[in-house]
């Protein structure tokens, strides 16, 4: 069974540019989560989808971040325009059961 897949694995962009991260969850997992780890800090929640609906987006830093989940399958996280403080590792996770989430390898974003 394929795991959670994220791409790109690395992205280096200039301040003010746009970046789109993609996540393919494990097939059949209705729950999809985005998390972020900024250097030196703990992994922090960004948002949670149940199928195509946003269940909780309380962790999204500001309106420069936009997440979508097309047809309840893959998800994208767009940052526009990117700022220096957006640098970090962005993780996607999916689950069938609350909490027992399976994580992707992450996308390292450098702004």
Partner 1 sequence: EDQVTQSPEALRLQEGESSSLNCSYTVSGLRGLFWYRQDPGKGPEFLFTLYSAGEEKEKERLKATLTKKESFLHITAPKPEDSATYLCAVQNQAGTALIFGKGTTLSVSS
Catalog residues that contact partner 1 under the rule CB under 8 A.
Answer: 4, 33, 35, 41-45, 48, 55-56, 58-59, 91, 93, 98-106
Nearer to partner 1, 10 or 15 (CB): 10
Tell me whether residue 38 or residue 66 sits nearer to partner 1 (CB atom): 38
**Closest to partner 1 by CB, 71 or 99:** 99
Q: Is 70 helix (H, G, I), strand (E, B) or coil?
A: helix
Cα–Cα distance between 88 and 106 in angstroms, integer?
Answer: 10
CB-based burial, 75-85: b 16+ in 10 Å, e otherwise: bebebeebeee
What's the min distance (Å) between Cβ of 63 and partner 1? 20
């Amino acid at each position: 069974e394929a795991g959670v897949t994220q791409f790109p694995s690395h992205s280096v962009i200039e301040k003010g540019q746009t970046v789109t991260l993609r996540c393919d969850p494990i097939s059949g997992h209705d729950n999809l989560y985005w998390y972020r780890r900024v250097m030196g800090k703990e992994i922090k929640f960004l948002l949670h989808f149940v199928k195509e609906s946003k269940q909780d987006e309380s962790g999204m830093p500001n309106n420069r971040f936009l997440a979508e989940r097309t047809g309840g399958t893959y998800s994208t996280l767009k940052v526009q325009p990117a700022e220096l403080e957006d640098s970090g590792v962005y993780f996607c996770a999916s689950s069938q059961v609350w909490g027992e989430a399976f994580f992707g390898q992450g996308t390292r974003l450098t702004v």
